[in-house]
Amino acid sequence: MAKIAILDRRCTGCGLCAENCPFGAIDMQGGRPELNAACKVCGLCVKACPEKAVLKLETRVDSVDKSKWNDILVLAEVSGGRLHPVSLELIGKARELAKAVDYKVKALLIGHGILDFAEELRHYGAQEIAVYDDPELSYFRADAWAACAEDYIRFARPSVVLVGATSLGRSLAPRLSTRFHTGLTADCTRLELRENTDLVQIRPAFGGNIMAQIITTNTRPQFATVRYKVMNAPARREEAAGEVLIRRIPRGVADSPASCVSVTPVPPRKSISDAEVLVVGGRGLRKEADLDMIRELAALLGGDWATTRPLVEKGWNTNDRQIGLSGRTVRPRLIITCGVSGAIQFTACMKGSDHIVAINSDPNAPIFDVAHIAVVGDLYDIVPALIRRIREGRA
C-alpha cells in the first residue's frame, strides 16, 4: 500500500504538483495543495515538485501466518426447499483443489430443518458438514447468516471459502470478506490452488477482454464466488462419509433488527441454465418475429431458447434468457447458435457445453473457434431447412 503526503514546511505553493497530476487529484486551496479521492498514487506529483515537498510513502503490510488457515469451506445453500446444485459443483471443485495441498473439504449449512441436506452432502465428499439449524434461521436474513458463517469461519479457519454466485451468496460473501478484512473475487470462471495455498482466482475483466488472475497474498481466508453451471458437479456416491457437526447459533442472531414480514413464493421458473438443449438467436436475426423459428427449432428438439445481449437491448427478449457475462452461464448437452458472432462475453458462458453447433454466414466468425460443428451459411436457409427435416423425419 502506498499514499502521497505533502510536507507543509517545504511546500512553496507553486502548484506544479497540481499541474502535472493527470487525474486532477490535487486542488490548490488558499495556495496550498490538497489531495482528493481521485489520487491513484502514480507519483508524477512527486517528480514534479522542485522542493521535494511531495512524498510517496509505502506502508508495510504484514502477511498472515498461512499455515494457521487450512482446508476449503463451501457455503452450501438450501433455497426453495432444495439444495442449490451450485453447492455440489463447488464441493466437486473443492475436492479437486484440496488434493494438491492435502486439505479437507468442509461444507457449511445455515437454515431451519436442514439436517436432511447435511446428510445428503455426506454423499458428495464433504469431510465435515457444519450445521446451524434454528427457527431463527427459517428465512434468509443477511446479518443472521453472516453471523453464523463468521462464527464457523473463526472456529474452523479455512484457507479458502467458496460461495455460489446466487442472490444469497452475492449478499453474503462481501459481508464476510469485509468482516475478515480479506479479498473476495466474484464470478470466478476458473480456480487453481498454488503450493503455497494461494488461490488463483481467474475471471474475465475489463469487459471480458482479459482473463485476470487474482490472488489474495497477505490475508486469509480467500473468498471466491462462482456461478451455477461453471464447474462440474461430482457424481453422488452410494456410501456416505464425513461428519455432521451441529453448531449453536451465535449470540445476537435472535436480536437481529431485521425480521421477515411476509413471504410470497415465486412460482418455480425454468432457467436456461438447466436446459439440456438450447437454440440461441443472435444479431444475425433481422426482426423480432424471426425469433419464432428459433423457438420452433428449440421446441422440436425438446429444448429451450435464448439470445445474445444485443437482442435483449432491443427489447426482443428478457435478461433471464440472455447467455453471457451479464446474463446466464449455460452448459447444455447441445447448443445451436444462429447468427451469433462469438464475442468473448458470450462464449465465456457457454463454451463448456457438450456439443456446440454454430450457424454463421461469416467463415471467420470467432464462434467457430469454440464450435464442434461449424455451419457456414445463411441462417434464413439453414434453420427453416432443419425444422423441415426434423418434421419430415418425425412424419
Ligand X SMILES: Cc1cc2nc3c(=O)[nH]c(=O)nc-3n(C[C@H](O)[C@H](O)[C@H](O)COP(=O)(O)OP(=O)(O)OC[C@H]3O[C@@H](n4cnc5c(N)ncnc54)[C@H](O)[C@@H]3O)c2cc1C
Q: At what angle do helices 167-179 and 142-156 cross, to 10 degrees?
A: 50
Cβ of residue 353: shortest distance to ligand X, in angstroms? Answer: 15
Please say which residue, 147 or 348, places its beta carbon nearer to ligand X. Answer: 348
Min dist CB 349 to ligand X, Å, is 7
The two beta strands, 82-83 and 78-79, are: antiparallel
Shortest CA distance to 74 belongs to which of 112, 101, 110? 110
CA–CA separation, 232 vs 128, rounded Å? Answer: 21
Q: Which three cell numbers stand for residue 225?
A: 464466488
**Nearer of residues 222 and 273 to ligand X, judged by Cβ:** 273
Question: For residues 64 and 306, which CB has a smaller minimum distance to ligand X in the complex?
Answer: 306
- What cell numbers appear for 70 in the block? 487450512
- CA 298 to CA 366: how far, in whole Å? 23
CB of 167 to ligand X, least distance (A): 18
Closer CB to ligand X, 125 or 327, in the complex: 327
Residues 6+ apart with CB under 8 A from 144: 136, 137, 249, 253, 256, 258
Nearer of residues 259 and 364 to ligand X, judged by Cβ: 364
The pair phi, psi for residue 295, each rounded to 5°, is: -65, -40
Interface with ligand X (CB under 6 A): 207-208, 282-284, 308-310, 322-327, 339-341, 343, 345-346, 359-362, 365, 378-380
Instruction: State the Cα–Cα distance between residues 284 and 133, nearest whole angstrom.
Output: 51
Distance of CA 52 to the CA centre of its chain: 45
State the nearest-atom distance from the C-beta of 347 to ligand X, in Å: 9
The answer to whether the bond into 221 is cis (omega within 30° of 0) is yes
At closest approach, how far in Å is the CB of 11 from ligand X?
42
Of 292 and 378, the one with the shorter C-beta distance to ligand X is 378
Decide: 320 and 328 in contact? Cβ < 8 Å: yes
For strands 210-214 and 222-226, give the pairing. Answer: unpaired
How does DSSP assign 209-221, residue by residue? TEEEEE---SSSS
Instruction: State the Cα–Cα distance between residues 313 and 305, nearest whole angstrom.
Output: 17
Our CB check for ligand X shows the closer of 22 and 384 to be 384
- Burial 146-171, CB ≥16 within 10 A → b, else e: bbbbebbbeebebbbbbbbbbebbee
Shorter beta-carbon distance to ligand X: residue 183 or 339: 339
CB 187, min distance to ligand X, A: 11
Minimum distance, C-beta of residue 203 to ligand X, in the bound complex (Å): 12
On whether the CB atoms of residues 98 and 105 are closer than 8 A, the answer is yes
Minimum distance from residue 372 beta carbon to ligand X (Å) = 18
Which CB atom, from 271 or from 361, has the smaller least distance to ligand X? 361
Kindly tell me which of 23 and 316 has the beta carbon lying closer to ligand X. 316
Least Cα distance to 120 among 148, 156, 154, 82 occurs for 82
Residue whose beta carbon is closest to ligand X: 324
* CB 328 to ligand X: min, Å: 8
Burial class (CB in 10 A: 0-12, 13-18, 19+), 40: exposed
Q: In angstroms, what is the minimal distance from the CB of 386 to ligand X?
A: 13
- Minimum CB distance to ligand X smaller for 26 or for 330: 330
Shortest distance (Å) from residue 183 CB to ligand X: 22
